[in-house]
Structure 1
Amino acid sequence: MLNRISDNMRVAALIAALLLVPLVPWPAALSAAQDAPQPHIALLSIDGAIGPATTDYLERTLAEAGTNGARLVVIHIDTPGGLDAATRDIIQHILAAEVPVATYVYPSGARAASAGTYILYASQIAAMAPATTLGAATPVQIGGMPGAGEPPPEKKAGQGDEDSKKSPANKPAPQSGSGSAMERKITNDAVAFIRGLAKRNGRNADWAERAVREAATLTADEALQQNVIDLVAKNDADLLRQLAGRKVALESGSVTLPTDLAALPLRAYVPDWRNKLLALITNPQVAYILLLIGIYGLIFEGYSPGALVPGITGVICLLLALYALQLLPINYAGLALIVVGALLIVAELFVPSFGALGIGGVIALVIGSVMLIDSDVPGMQISKGLIGAIAGVSGLGLLGLLWAVGRSLRKPRIASDQAMVGRTAVVMELQGDDVLVHLGGEIWQARCDQRVQPGDRVKVIAQEGLALRITPE
């Protein structure tokens, strides 16, 4: 009786425990509390040429940092420049950000050249580390900005701005009348854009214009003296210490940074797998290789239907290449030349032109490859070494093809009804007076005046239509 009561009590206790489980703050609830927005400093990084992948990374991380409770976004930047469309997209996101953005040229020896200068001017806070540079913001296109007295793309790190000694820093540079109308149009548009950014954040607009028209550059100390940046900091801790309690103007209104800014934790936002994949396929070298693989894959699938592997590989690579190319500044004439060149090289396999089609295809492929990416931005061009390697492989393949064709032409002609005479076959099966032999991957019907057994090697001595006459080897 007592045992039965004890068992009932255990069951009742178990039921009560199960009912109380949802009310207990278990690790899941604790994890949810930890995932709640926490004040921190968001740390982002731009390293290398600015392209579509950079835009995607900054767009998502700026929104994520705001949602996670970031009080300040610090962008470490070290770039030689980038694409104009990607730069303008990044600037739009920075201007519309709900969290103050500090662009910091870091570490020592880094630079914010060309597109980096625009991003620095657009940020609510502009900072540089010692021994860093910015400037050289002249827009470039394919072949650069031709014209008499064209300035160099950039100056060496640590080199002073020679032009600033010849004319006052606050004097705008005269507009050059050299260059085509399109070049002047692009330059004037860039000047208006960067001057607007400078006035919005209270920075030196006249030097910004000189950076565009004359490719002027400054070191960190010179930039601070000429009101191009807000401060010079040795590292992140020094940057946060100087920014503590600073008032920053955002699109939505003024914001005062916390006085204990340096005490907030730093949280690095790194690119995810999607951004890494986008950065890989939008690399001009990779996009170029994918394009060629796609074109050749589809061509060979068309010449050998049912192979499947060339066709499937070609479709996947071609779709990836087209997605990447629509994000990059491409020249469609160059793309057309690459397609025509590949078609001519493959046509040499089937049309006896004695090298004319193949040579023309290699020439078209090389010229199209040089023209494909319509930009002079560092890191956004197809390597000449890669183009040379593709041309060399295509040329060697063409020479091998011509050698094989020449060798076949030197062989003696054999009538089609005597092509099997003299070859060796293997007996497979006996069918009365007839014998089935295996020859050249095919099964032939043959006759033999002597006795043979399956597995014997025989020699073809005559071909009579679709039948062979054989003799033991």
Structure 2
Amino acid sequence: MIKGIIPFILSIFWLWQSGSVGATNLSIQNKTGQSFSSLNRYVYLIKLDDKIINPITYEYVHKAIQQAEKEQAQCLVIELDTPGGLLNSTRSIVKDIMNAQVPVVVYISPQGARAGSAGVFITLASHIAAMAPSTNIGAAHPVNIGGEEDKGSWKEFFRELSRYRQKEREGKEEEKEAKKGEGEGKKEEKSEKVKEPKKQPKEETEEEAPQKSTSPMQDKIINDTVAWVRALAAARGRNQDWAEAAVIKSVSVPEKEALEKNVIDLIASDISELLEKIDGRTVAIMDRTFILKTKDVEIRHIPMSARQRILDAIINPNIAYILMILGFYGLLFEITHPGAGFPGIAGAICIILAFYAFQSLPVNYAGLALIGLSLALFVAEVKVQSFGLLALGGIISMLLGSLMLIDSPLAFMRVSLGVIIPIVLSTATIIIFLISAVLRVHMRKSVTGQEGLLGEIGVAETDIMPEGKVFVHGEIWNAITNKGVDVIGKGERVKVIAVEGLKVIIEKLK
């Protein structure tokens, strides 16, 4: 029996060892470029459709990468269409892509889409970069947006970039002129040698011109961004010079030129063609290589959650501005109608949501203060009779504050005039209506108290010689005739001409 058990145990041990060796062999194959047989036959797809890159966008991409890694998908495809966005959020997305354990494919799509500013960095960081026809990529200005230093210096920043480009062009023209004069006399050669030491420093390095700008922070932004974008391009084997030009010169190219310049890897008309073209491509991730098997795979969409959609919408400058104005309306109504409750609560919620968005946007606090001043002026107009002067000041203050509220050179980061003008006009209409209503109330004859008795018609309850009683305004009053000379009989109609304490002065109605 023992003789039978020993071979059985040895056979189990041999099978276990064989399995271990097989597993080791599979691991080695994975590291040497074999296709991952354990990867599932589907890809994940997320869409950044005309999205401003912001903290919510980063959260969306971050969770999508985590899900693709957990499910061992063939790859994650990011369908990108963005004008740009916040630098911190862009850096976070790029960091996630660079450290992802699953291939990340950035596809600039659909036709007419673009990868501007932040989109350039995200595309360069991807393992595979693709573009649809009639799309473009570029213009990666290192714009300082939201919560960073040196706010409000956009014009000066771009002015310095323009100066740098101008100096670069002048340097190239001088080089051409120098080459043309090489075949001329020795005097000209000497004069050129004299000029060269003065002009050469301008052309020594591309970073030297930006360092002469008035703001050290601008230099830091430019130099840091250039180094970053070159590092991304180098890591993915893409055109480093073009990447730098996209930052310094704000160049932008269509899909065909991007492919020629080695900015992207391929052009695909739709997602199906993209997956067909990347099938069989080898992607290096850390110390491993993936051979993608994306032909005829299942595409699984990862939509934004309801929470992400709401917060992403709030961060839009136009939505944030509208929320702030609605909040001010609610507070204005609560102040002028104490105890209403709901308008004040709703207004406070709207203002809190607006300030949540403002923490990620380049808010000009002078503009915010002007809008706050307009609210104070509107409240004062209701409380004090200025005949519209305070309201006019409030409307002007709101208009100026709205125009100044978001301080950015980028159109997509500013509040649209198409939003500002209707809101200011509607506010002016509401305030004018309220003022006219208040004026009508003030001009209306009083119908209560002693003032309400003036001019009222009544009937003598007794003979009035010169004192007696009259029935006026539903009440019986002590009365005295005007100057105490008239005699009014009981039942005659009288008119109140004055009120003195608890007596009315009357005269006979003629």
Q: Same fold (TM over 0.5)?
A: yes
Deviations 1:195-221 (A, max 9, x none): 121122121111111111111122222
Structure 1 pair 305–238 and aligned structure 2 pair: CA distance change class (3 A)? same
Corresponding residue of 2:409: 376
Structure 1 pair 343–388 and aligned structure 2 pair: CA distance change class (3 A)? same
Corresponding residue of 1:27: none
Deviations 1:421-465 (A, max 9, x none): 5679xxxxxxxxxxxx9x9xxxxx83499xxxxxxxxx9976897
Corresponding residue of 1:339: 372
Structure 1 pair 398–315 and aligned structure 2 pair: CA distance change class (3 A)? closer
Structure 1 pair 86–110 and aligned structure 2 pair: CA distance change class (3 A)? same
Shift of 1:272: 2.0
Contact 1:50–1:86 (Cα < 8 Å) also in 2 = no
Deviations 1:232-264 (A, max 9, x none): 2333233223323323233x4333133x32132
Structure 1 pair 222–416 and aligned structure 2 pair: CA distance change class (3 A)? same
Contact 1:40–1:69 (Cα < 8 Å) also in 2 = no
Residue 313 (structure 2) aligned to one of 280, 284, 302: 280
Q: Which amino acid aligns with 2:110?
A: P
Tell me, yes or no, if structure 1 residue 446 matches structure 2 residue 446: no
Contact 2:445–2:452 (Cα < 8 Å) also in 1 = no
Decide which moves more: 278-287 or 370-379.
370-379
Tell me, yes or no, if structure 1 residue 236 matches structure 2 residue 271: yes
Structure 1 unaligned regions, length at least 5: 1-35, 152-164, 425-436, 440-444, 450-458
Three-state SS of the structure 2 residue aligned to 1:74 is strand
User: Normalising by structure 1, what TM-score?
Assistant: 0.72
Structure 1 pair 447–131 and aligned structure 2 pair: CA distance change class (3 A)? same
Three-state SS of the structure 1 residue aligned to 2:318 is helix
Q: Which amino acid aligns with 1:382?
A: V
Q: Which amino acid aligns with 2:159?
A: G
Residue 112 (structure 1) aligned to one of 111, 115, 128: 115
Corresponding residue of 1:161: none
Residues 388-407 of structure 1: pairs in structure 2 closer than 5 A: 388-400=421-433, 403=436
Corresponding residue of 2:140: 137
More helix by share: 2
Structure 1 pair 290–130 and aligned structure 2 pair: CA distance change class (3 A)? closer
Q: Which amino acid aligns with 2:48?
A: I
Residues 41-52 of structure 1: pairs in structure 2 closer than 5 A: 41-52=43-54
Deviations 1:105-151 (A, max 9, x none): 12233221211111101112111223321111123466554427849
Q: Which amino acid aligns with 1:41?
A: V
Three-state SS of the structure 1 residue aligned to 2:223 is helix
Corresponding residue of 2:5: none
Tell me, yes or no, if structure 1 residue 40 matches structure 2 residue 42: yes
Three-state SS of the structure 2 residue aligned to 1:271 is coil
Structure 1 pair 93–378 and aligned structure 2 pair: CA distance change class (3 A)? farther
Corresponding residue of 1:193: 228
Shift of 1:194: 1.0
C-alpha separation in 2, matches of 1:411 and 1:233: 74
Corresponding residue of 2:465: none
Residue 159 (structure 2) aligned to one of 143, 147, 160: 147
Residue 386 (structure 1) aligned to one of 419, 422, 432: 419
Tell me, yes or no, if structure 1 residue 253 matches structure 2 residue 253: no
Shift of 1:390: 2.2
Corresponding residue of 1:78: 81
Residues 432-443 of structure 1: pairs in structure 2 closer than 5 A: none
Shift of 1:393: 2.5
Structure 2 unaligned regions, length at least 5: 1-37, 145-151, 164-171, 176-203, 458-471, 479-492, 506-510
Identical columns (%): 40
Structure 1 pair 461–98 and aligned structure 2 pair: CA distance change class (3 A)? farther
Corresponding residue of 1:56: 59
Contact 2:382–2:435 (Cα < 8 Å) also in 1 = no
Structure 1 pair 464–103 and aligned structure 2 pair: CA distance change class (3 A)? same
Residue 363 (structure 2) aligned to one of 330, 336, 348: 330
Corresponding residue of 1:162: none
Residue 207 (structure 1) aligned to one of 242, 250, 268: 242
Three-state SS of the structure 2 residue aligned to 1:59 is helix
Corresponding residue of 1:18: none
Three-state SS of the structure 2 residue aligned to 1:104 is strand
Corresponding residue of 2:98: 95
Structure 1 pair 409–50 and aligned structure 2 pair: CA distance change class (3 A)? closer
Three-state SS of the structure 2 residue aligned to 1:348 is helix
Contact 2:327–2:346 (Cα < 8 Å) also in 1 = yes
Contact 1:80–1:116 (Cα < 8 Å) also in 2 = yes
C-alpha separation in 2, matches of 1:173 and 1:111: 27
Three-state SS of the structure 2 residue aligned to 1:71 is coil
Residues 161-176 of structure 1: pairs in structure 2 closer than 5 A: 176=209
Contact 2:39–2:74 (Cα < 8 Å) also in 1 = no
Shift of 1:174: 6.8
Structure 1 pair 48–343 and aligned structure 2 pair: CA distance change class (3 A)? same
Shift of 1:279: 2.1
Tell me, yes or no, if structure 1 residue 317 matches structure 2 residue 320: no
Structure 1 pair 253–344 and aligned structure 2 pair: CA distance change class (3 A)? farther
Three-state SS of the structure 1 residue aligned to 2:105 is strand
Shift of 1:73: 0.6
Q: Which amino acid aligns with 2:109?
A: Y
Deviations 1:400-424 (A, max 9, x none): 4555566667667999523255679
Contact 1:43–1:268 (Cα < 8 Å) also in 2 = yes
C-alpha separation in 2, matches of 1:298 and 1:127: 50
Residue 301 (structure 2) aligned to one of 263, 268, 281: 268
Structure 1 pair 414–276 and aligned structure 2 pair: CA distance change class (3 A)? closer
The alignment covers a number of residue pairs equal to 394
C-alpha separation in 2, matches of 1:172 and 1:286: 44
Three-state SS of the structure 2 residue aligned to 1:419 is helix
C-alpha separation in 1, matches of 2:257 and 2:68: 32
C-alpha separation in 2, matches of 1:399 and 1:312: 25
Tell me, yes or no, if structure 1 residue 362 matches structure 2 residue 395: yes
The root-mean-square deviation of aligned C-alpha atoms, in Å, is 4.0
Shift of 1:89: 2.3
Q: Which amino acid aligns with 1:116?
A: G
C-alpha separation in 2, matches of 1:234 and 1:413: 76
Three-state SS of the structure 2 residue aligned to 1:248 is strand
Shift of 1:49: 3.4
C-alpha separation in 1, matches of 2:344 and 2:435: 26
Larger radius of gyration: 2
Shift of 1:343: 1.3
